[in-house]
Amino acid sequence: MISFLRGVIADISAANLIIDVNGVGYSVIVTPSVLQNAKVGTDLSIPVVLVVREESMTFYGFANNEERRIFELLQTVNGVGPKLALTILAATTSENLADAIANGDENTLTRIPGVGKKSAARLILELGDKFGIKANARTGWQSEVHDALTALGWSSKEASGAVQSVTEKNLPHKSVPQALKSALEILNRIGRA
């Protein structure tokens, strides 16, 4: 498998570069972060993914290996192809995407062009454990309180915020019910503000 291309930028268009690699021009569809720094005639080494379809073979290029990794992860989700994966990468940072998925924040995901409620739900469901940075950091009581709040109708983002507030403010609680009560008080205060 081809993992990177190294050559000279021969041409730049709206969404892709032509990279001259020892006399062969490769067309590579790239993220906006790559286009932003590209100049014709400069040397470039770029991580790529070759996507082979029945009717085409297409290179996708990235600013770094982390972008490439996320692109490949996104395509493991049912209904997410290379074009939507590239659109997601163009619309948000990898950190913001990881936060939205880890926190179950459908609203943030649906702001990305081409991502509807069903796609957002699939992203969260299928990638939650892979992006579960914050979810994995929750302890037993935090996870139980979070689940209880979402069962009561609060969004995952609101529940995460309340659990984080209870944790940060070190509010007194000896049991899950007491922690849940503190979290509900925080959410009710925010609701009235």
Q: Where exactly are the structural domains of the chain?
A: 4-61, 65-133, 138-192
Angle at 60 between CA 57 and CA 61, to 5 degrees: 145
| Sequence letter at residue 72 | E
CATH number of 65-133: 1.10.150.20
Task: Give the pLDDT score at 19.
Answer: 97
- Cβ–Cβ < 8 Å for 80, 110: no
CATH class of 138-192: mainly alpha
* pLDDT tens, position by position, 32-71: 889 998 999 999 999 999 999 899 999 999 999 988 999 9
Instruction: State the DSSP H helix or E strand holding residue 13, giving kind and residue range, or none if neither.
Output: none
> CB neighbours of 88 closer than 8 A, spacing ≥ 6?
74, 80, 97, 112, 114, 115
pLDDT range class, residue 144, cuts 50, 70, 90: confident
Task: Give the pLDDT score at 134.
Answer: 44
What is this structure's pTM? 0.65
* pLDDT tens, position by position, 113-143: 999 988 888 888 788 767 654 444 445 677 7
Let me know if the fold of 4-61 is the same as that of 65-133: no
**Domain 4-61, what architecture?**
Beta Barrel (2.40)
Query: How, if at all, do strands 24-30 and 16-21 pair?
Result: antiparallel
pLDDT range class, residue 3, cuts 50, 70, 90: very high
